[in-house]
Structure 1
Amino acid sequence: MNRSQHSLALTTKDAAKLVGVDYRTIKLGIENGTIPTVQLGPRRMIPRVPLLRHFGINA
């Protein structure tokens, strides 16, 4: 089972898979501030619910 199916925070690549876009689209959204991120230890992660809302997906 893929852990990202239930994770509250995702990597860039897992976020891209979840919403069906290229990971570069996610990176651009992070760079321009439309996709929020959080620092979890050494990693910058993307919260699931705000990501889904950004792409118009009900969480």
Structure 2
Amino acid sequence: MNHSETSLALTYKDAADLVGVEYRTIKAGVERGTIPSVQLGPRRMIPRAALLRVFGVEP
């Protein structure tokens, strides 16, 4: 996927790498509803700004 620092939507793996947690932490957060996600075609993606807010980092 796009690893650009300006990507607005991230894969679970890219989201995990960005905030320094494991992939399964992101997956569990999405499943619980604590990490927002959007369906883009066949993929579920994490909006960068929302992810950073959840982890207390301002975009």
Q: Would you say same fold, with TM above 0.5?
A: yes
Q: Which residue of 1 aligns with 2:43?
A: 43
**Structure 1: gaps spanning 5 or more residues:** none
In 2, are the aligned partners of 1:4 and 1:14 still within 8 Å (CA)?
no
Asked whether the equivalents of residues 12 and 46 of structure 1 are also in contact (C-alpha less than 8 Å), the reply is yes
**Unmatched segments (≥5 aa) in structure 2:** none
Q: Aligned Cα RMSD in Å? A: 1.1
| TM-score scaled by length of structure 1 | 0.91
Tell whether 2:11 aligns with 1:23.
Answer: no
* 1:56 counterpart residue number: 56
Amino acid at match of 1:16: A
1:3 maps to what in 2? 3
TM-score, scaled to structure 2: 0.91
